[in-house]
Structure 1
Amino acid sequence: MLLTGASGGIGQALVDELAGAGARLLVTGRRQPALEALTARHPGQVTALVADLTRADDRHRLVESAREAGCTMLVNAAGVNRVGLFESLSDEEIEALVTLNLTSTLQLTRALLPQLLAAEHGWVVNLGSTFGTIGYPGQAGYCATKFALRGFTQALRRELADTRVHVLHVAPRATRTGMNAPEVEEMNRALSNTMDSPQRVARLVRRAIEAGREETQLGGPERLFARLNALVPGVVDRALRRQLPTIRRFIGKPRGDTP
């Protein structure tokens, strides 16, 4: 399989979990030392290729390597976040979010799709987020990309329904990784938001793949909140409005409520 984002927190845990289950992986990321550590831990099972998914030539190299390795599964785990009030995000930060979390993922998936369609069983596994179902203050840019990724996954699954390609979407909740700034972890503690370890997320992703579950939302409270958001969004609006002072205390300047 080809797994992107392997040098990140969840990505590294996924490599360890999947390799531990016997999978052979071609992994990619932008941090060479982290990738070298993965290949050293799993000799003969993990091959690493440093690449920047936002670059067309790097994506081409990945697809060629995946073809040579006979990959029949693509796990899209690469992503970035920029926590902050939307008005504080720069054009460059918005562009970075959309390019890596969404555009590059779609482009890589499209490029690898002929190989997956030709396989006896092909797989596309997209790692989304709870914030692909629930719009959350301070996460507007990230939510935009993860809502779009969830919609892409659903549409692609339906488009390929009469093929042998399985398309899965797994949505972790808050996870304790190096991507989180210290103030984000402090905010989650103040709001009593449960944070999973990368290892727990990786274990649950593996189980979702093994079960072939098309949609997986990690965390019982998060599943309930997502259901409420779909059915009675006003209830969620009111609940999150009460959290705004705490959210702004950690990631933005406090200001008075608007009517």
Structure 2
Amino acid sequence: MHNDVFSQPPMVWLPADHRLLGDHGHAMPFLLLGDKYARAVKVGAHAQPVMFPLADAAQVPQLLSLVDGVMLTGSPSNVHPSHFNEEVHDPSLPLDPERDSLTLTLVHACVAHGVPLLGICRGFQEINVALGGSLHQTVHAVTGLMDHREPDDAPIDQQYAPSHPVRLEPGCALAEWAGATEVMVNSLHGQGIGRLAPGLRPLAHAPDGLIEAFEVVGAREFAYAVQWHPEWRCWENPFYSAIFRAFGDAVRRRRQARLQEGRAFAAAPEKP
């Protein structure tokens, strides 16, 4: 059977969530990835989502060399506030220190090596924290800010429906993808940007002024993150589709460069 590595789709690494699941008091550890994130990569970016179960920070250089992009997904868990020098304000909210350990290292590696990087919700917050920013642990408790959480008792389609506008910076990539400088997005988050990290440029703001998207200034490749959830049925929303199409174009550029490097290495004469 013919198996041409050069015809295979690019691969995008999606880190797993660590969660305890089970009934009747018998909780067991699971490694999880939301279907909607993997499906958006597959359908929207035309790339193959991959996971590396139990990957740790020490393995980031080795594993990153195997993929063409990284997408940091949303999650029910929050970034541990110790990473921005705060105590936990609400112990009832879920945390995932194992994921923090991997993704905060992964952010630095992607930026340093020009690996396409897309952050969504928790992933948006991870990039900000990794690069030196902070978070509001309870956005709705901050004076002047809206409640950005979804209604708990609403159907899932309603929770992920557009709920407020964001103002996009004129001329930025997001405005180009949206074809406008204001667009409606969904909103399902309790935490948000407090202090923006150095080296990040805000690209979108909610009506209350909260930063909802940014780019990594000077990044060699695609390095964008959004607080909303463009993965939700991205193929039905032209703006969301454009985000994943641009991300897919970036990971294909990365794959082409990796393959060319591999060809050059294979063709190089051996040293005597």
Q: The TM-score by the shorter chain falls in which range?
A: 0.3 to 0.5
Choose between structure 1 and 2: higher strand proportion: 2
Q: Which is helix-richer, 1 or 2?
A: 1
**Structure 1 length normalisation: TM-score?**
0.33
